[in-house]
Amino acid sequence: QSALTQPASVSGSRGQSITISCTGTSSDVGGYDYVSWYQHHPGKAPKLIICDVSNRPSGVSNRFSGSKSGNTASLTISGLQAEDEADYYCSSYTSIATRVFGGGTRLTVL
Amino acid sequence: QLQLQESGPGLVKPSETLSLTCTVSGGSVSSTTYYWGWIRQPPGKGLEWIGSIYYSGTTYYNPSLKSRVTISVDTSKNQFSLKLRSVTAADAAVYFCVRELTTILTKSFDIWGQGTTVTVSS
């Protein structure tokens, strides 16, 4: 299985919004509403921030939102804050009951 | 609050078997709502799903690792384990154990261990 495709890096100024894309195929992202997003500060455990395309787990800021169109899922972070600077990974369930991650996106807050 | 803790050797020799255990506290590996899995992150690279197991023993593995991986569960000890055979330098990584919430409506890795670093070197 191939990794999902994410941009290597994105940046935005404090207070602005950014969107990270995650492109797969009809066998993963496009075929199931089981796309999740994780925030990873290096040296710490990754944190689930979006599940099932657009659902926020309890305690996650409403500045994080997710969506999907066809084979591409997206994570939007609004009102960027310094603490949002981290690596972000998407993940999807696949047609062979495996799971696959994207390559990760490094977010820089300017 | 459920917690996961990885344990095992931090150094493994090339061609040998990497063995890690994840101890579950504050919850049960026998829960019917969850799978239990392993994810790794090689230095400077992204996350890679290794595989997952249900308390009944049903397993799913990354096709690229399937020939070398075994994940098992010990309900009596509330633990699950990873064995990766014939390791090479490419298997050096931080290994995370995870809980995967899995129902017909949802699938996500909702709880992660802190991770343990494994180095492959003679």
- Rounded to an integer, what distance in angstroms lies between the CA atom of residue B49 and that of residue B106? 17
Q: Does B107 touch chain A (CB under 8 A)?
A: yes
**pLDDT of the residue at A63:** 98
Residue spans of chain A under pLDDT 70: none
Q: Which residue has the tokens 């990974």?
A: A89
Q: Do A98 and B62 touch (CB under 8 A)?
A: yes
Residues of B within 8 A of A104 (CB-CB) are: 46-47
* Residue A89 sits at the chain B interface (C-beta within 8 Å): yes
pLDDT reported for residue A78: 98
d(CA B95, CA B82): 10
Cβ of A97 and B110 within 8 Å?
Answer: no
Largest CA distance in chain A: 41
Least Cα separation, residue A76 to chain B (angstroms):
18
Helix (H, G, I), strand (E, B) or coil at A2: coil
User: What residues of chain A lie within 8 A of the CB of B39, using their CB?
Assistant: 101
Both tokens of B122, joined, read: 């003679």
* pLDDT at res. B98: 98
Mean of all residue pLDDT scores within chain B: 96
pLDDT digits (tens, 9 = 90+) for B53-104: 999 999 999 999 999 999 999 999 999 999 999 999 999 999 999 999 998 8
How far is the alpha carbon of A68 from chain B, nearest alpha carbon, in Å?
Answer: 15
Q: Does B96 touch chain A (CB under 8 A)?
A: yes
In angstroms, the CA B58 to CA B107 distance is 16
3-state SS track over A17-64: CEEEEEECCCCCCCCCCCEEEEEECCCCCCEEEEECCCECCCCCCCCE
Check A34 against B109: CB less than 8 A apart: no
The answer to whether the Cβ–Cβ distance between A100 and B61 falls below 8 Å is no
pLDDT of B118 > 90? The answer is yes
Q: What is the pLDDT of residue A35?
A: 98
Q: Which residue in B48, B109, B116 has the most chain A C-beta atoms within 10 A of its own C-beta, making it the best mutation to test that interface?
A: B109
Looking at residue A62, its amino acid is N
The pLDDT of residue B15 is: 97
Check CB contact under 8 Å for A45 and B49: no
Q: Judge whether A23 is closer than 8 Å to chain B, CB to CB.
A: no
What is the reported pLDDT for B76? 95
Give me the total of CB pairs closer than 8 Å, taking one residue from chain A and one from chain B.
69
Closest Cβ opposite residue B115 in set A45, A48, A93: A45
pLDDT at site A1: 77
pLDDT at residue A109 in the model: 97
